[in-house]
Amino acid sequence: MPARNLLRLTLVARRSVSTASASQLGFIGLGNMGASMATNLAKAGHQVRVFDVSRAAIDAVVAGSEGRASVASSANEVVPGASAVVTMLPSSKEVTQIYSGSDGLLAASKGNGTLFIDSTTGEPGVCEKIAEEAQQAGAVYIDAPVSGGVVAAKNAQLTFMCGGPKSAFDIAAPLLAAMGKKSIHCGDKVGSGEAAKICNNMLLAVSMLGTCEAMALGKHLGLNPNNLAEVLNASSGRCWSSEVYNPVPGVVPGVPSSRDYDGGFLCALMLKDLRLAQAAAAQNQVSTVMGGLACQIYSLMCAHGLAAKDFSVFYKFLQDQQNKSN
């Protein structure tokens, strides 16, 4: 689509979103992250029509929305009347299924300049394809994956990594501010946010594995985990995995490690992101030795029945393996 047509669409979207507090938003995907994001949009004063394959997830969001969330009976029913729609889906496969086709979100937008904000972590190439389809359908699409975890999602402290025209990013910014503390425009190319996200999550996996090993070694050297964590977080070993999301139960209250590694960012999802990073590295002929090892480790943990546990469960996995060898 010519640049002037994209400009026209973004102008339509800007007018629509500028009055979003008095109109309708849509939200699809109410998992561990999406549920809190949708709830925070409602708490910020927006009317939000929600959909998820889980009725229990829908009911939970509606109950916590201060009366501002309503229920859609299908994914594409969140679109009519909505100035913007946020999606938070498991993978690119679901993004393609929900956005494309005669009964998809783009078709339901009917050329009204609807702004679609996709916070799914997926393949940059899929985002580019959906953005092209969105333009053809008279809509605007940007990718906006997030970082921060379930606690940040609950407290509206997420970081958004966004790819797409700066004009579209500026339109989305007020909505992103209701769900997060920071939004970063990673590039005019749709998919730039996804590229930044898979780089971030590869580093996150490596740092979490290293933190787990350091904390496990410290335990066997007779160190109190709380004391070791204090040392790490006041020293050069400090990182998000040690300070905010420590993998040892009891060191940081409220994180998944302190509730038997339930909830949080699942090992299966981390493995998905690591495979995306490895695929991108292979495609661009970039060596990612640590990322490759991390991918192997999370694959091993998933094979050992830990796919549905938080990705910090590697600490427990190490302890279990140590106990078996003794």
Residues 142 and 213 in one domain: no
Write down which residue in 166, 188, 210 finishes a domain. Answer: 188
Domain of residue 201, residue span: 195-325
For 47, list phi and psi in degrees, rounded to 5.
-85, 125
Q: Is 309 a catalytic residue?
A: no
* Short-list 134, 130, 189, 192, CA closest to 160: 192
Residues 27 and 176 in one domain: yes
Q: Which two tokens stand for residue 168?
A: 């579209």
User: Residue 262 sits in a domain of what CATH number?
Assistant: 1.10.1040.10
**pLDDT per residue of the chain (326 residues) written in tens, 0 to 9:** 444 455 445 545 555 565 444 468 999 999 989 999 999 999 999 999 999 999 999 999 999 999 999 999 999 999 999 999 999 999 999 999 999 999 999 999 998 899 999 999 999 999 999 999 999 999 999 999 999 888 899 999 999 999 999 999 999 999 999 999 999 999 999 999 999 999 999 999 999 999 999 999 999 999 999 999 999 999 999 999 999 999 999 999 999 999 999 988 999 999 999 999 999 999 999 999 999 999 999 999 999 999 999 999 999 999 999 888 87
Tokens at 46, concatenated: 């927006």
Provide the greatest CA pair distance for the chain.
Answer: 69
The structural domain count of the chain equals: 2
- Same domain as 95, residue 200: no
Buried-exposed string 86-107: b where 16+ CB fall within 10 A, e elsewhere = bbbbebbebbbebbbeeebbbb
DSSP count for the chain of H helices, then E strands: 14, 9
Residue 41, amino acid:
L
Q: Of the listed 129, 154, 197, 309, which one is catalytic?
A: 197
- Least Cα distance to 314 among 198, 236, 207 occurs for 207
